[in-house]
């Protein structure tokens, strides 16, 4: 097994990957980013060296592994829009599943065997109980969730067969940004609630459409578990340290363990920004469960992880620092 010194962050120019790079650097890890920049942003990589390439470029990957002593791979490169995955599943099966197989094959050749995999609450499908722990059935209801579950299953086979050790990290609703807003969330198109409400607060959108006001929740709108992006980054690093101490390959659910409704998110944005946001009731969005909240007990017991930036105001405030400082995002398109 490689005793390398470098953490290779695949998809490190994207939202979650770039915050992981930031946190890794802050803690003194040597980092390298591999990203095709199809969704990510060069500026998001900060001081980390970036190799621009796609996961289908096997020779480039082989060269990378030959030239760098890679200690572990954090894999974030994936398409992540539920709706798009329904309309164009081929894109998702190729980019999320086939490409990951190519990456794992290159890792095998280079004998790099530690893998931190970015998975999602979307692998669970419709919740059958209020708090979702790791034993909750995994029955994804869209191609995006299925692609992530497929990689989870592939890892379970590859682990014992090829000596891989891995952590699967299933995120609930990633949100927020680093303090000071040097990097943040910039998707095109943006579909996520918090950045969209912030755009409405800045006057870049006339209103925020609330997808469903008749759910069986306290105020009728969907409840989600928003988790600060740096808490996610912390869990990735703890996952790596856990594997390096000989921890068995496994999966963790990562959320705050408390849910906020769409209305509560908008209220919080109004409070943090001091700006009024126009709310318009809209039909339910297909595939949205009413409530999605994580049970993160396992991450807490095994990794010693707990959310440090858990309250919604901190999450929204940091997202606002980024959005208000970069109203047009990274401006590199």
Chain residues in the site for ligand UFG (CB under 6 A): 80, 82, 120-122, 144, 173, 191-193, 196, 208-211, 222, 224, 262, 285, 288, 292
Q: How far is the CB of 286 from ligand UFG (least distance, A)?
A: 10
Least distance (Å) from ligand UFG to the CB of residue 232? 12
> CA torsion, points 178, 307, 145, 134, in degrees to nearest 10?
160
Instruction: Outline where the chain has alpha helix (H).
Output: 15-26, 58-67, 82-87, 89-92, 99-110, 143-162, 193-201, 229-244, 262-273, 297-303, 312-325
Is the Cβ of residue 6 or residue 173 nearer to ligand UFG in the bound state?
173
d(CA 289, CA 217): 11
* C-beta of 80 vs 106, nearer to ligand UFG: 80
Please provide residue 121's backbone torsions phi and psi, each rounded to the nearest 5 degrees: -65, -20
Tokens of 47: 């001081």
What SS3 class is residue 227? Answer: strand
**103 vs 122, beta carbon nearer ligand UFG:** 122
34 noted as active-site residue: no
Between strands 260-261 and 223-224, the pairing is antiparallel
The answer to whether 223 touches 261, Cβ cutoff 8 Å, is yes
Structure tokens of 59?
């020779």
Neighbours of 262 (CB within 10 A): 25
Q: Which is nearer to ligand UFG, 137 or 180 (CB)?
A: 137
Find the shortest distance in angstroms from Cβ 21 to ligand UFG: 20
Q: Shortest distance, CB of residue 144 to ligand UFG, whole angstroms?
A: 6
The one catalytic residue in 81, 144, 215, 260 is 144
- What is the C-alpha separation between 175 and 186, in angstroms, rounded? 11
For the bound state, the minimum distance from the C-beta of residue 322 to ligand UFG, rounded and expressed in Å, comes to: 16
Q: Which is nearer to ligand UFG, 72 or 293 (CB)?
A: 293
| CA triple 188-193-198, angle to 5 deg | 80
Residue nearest to ligand UFG (CB): 222
| Catalytic positions, written as ranges | 144
């Amino acid at each position: 097994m490689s005793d390398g010194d470098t953490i290779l962050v695949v998809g490190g120019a994207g939202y979650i990957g770039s915050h992981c790079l930031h946190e890794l650097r802050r803690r003194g890890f040597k980092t390298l980013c591999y990203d095709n920049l199809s969704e990510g942003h060069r500026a998001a990589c900060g001081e980390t060296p970036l190799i621009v390439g796609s996961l289908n470029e096997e020779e480039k990957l082989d060269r990378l592994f030959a030239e760098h002593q890679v200690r572990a791979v954090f894999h974030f490169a994936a398409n992540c829009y539920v709706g798009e995955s329904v309309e164009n599943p081929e894109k998702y099966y190729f980019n999320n599943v086939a490409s990951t197989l190519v990456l794992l094959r290159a890792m095998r050749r280079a004998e790099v065997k530690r893998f931190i995999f970015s998975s999602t609450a979307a692998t669970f499908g419709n919740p059958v109980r209020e708090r979702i722990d790791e034993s909750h059935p995994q029955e994804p209801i869209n191609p995006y969730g299925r692609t992530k579950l497929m990689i989870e299953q592939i890892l379970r086979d590859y682990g014992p067969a090829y000596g891989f050790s891995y952590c699967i990290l299933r995120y609930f609703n990633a949100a927020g940004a680093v303090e000071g807003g040097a990097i943040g969330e910039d998707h095109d198109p943006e579909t996520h609630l918090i950045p969209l409400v912030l755009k409405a607060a800045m006057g870049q959108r006339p209103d925020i459409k609330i997808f469903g006001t008749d759910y069986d929740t306290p105020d009728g709108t969907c409840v989600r578990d928003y988790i600060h992006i740096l808490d996610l980054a912390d869990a990735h690093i703890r996952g790596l340290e856990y594997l390096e101490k000989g921890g068995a390959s496994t999966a963790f659910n990562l959320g705050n363990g408390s849910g906020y409704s769409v209305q509560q998110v908008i209220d919080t944005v109004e409070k943090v920004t001091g700006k009024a946001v126009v709310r318009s009731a809209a039909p339910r969005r297909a595939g949205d469960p009413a409530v999605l909240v994580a049970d993160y007990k396992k991450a807490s017991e095994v990794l010693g992880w707990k959310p440090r930036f858990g309250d919604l105001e901190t999450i929204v405030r940091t997202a606002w620092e980024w959005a208000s400082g970069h109203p047009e995002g990274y401006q590199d398109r």
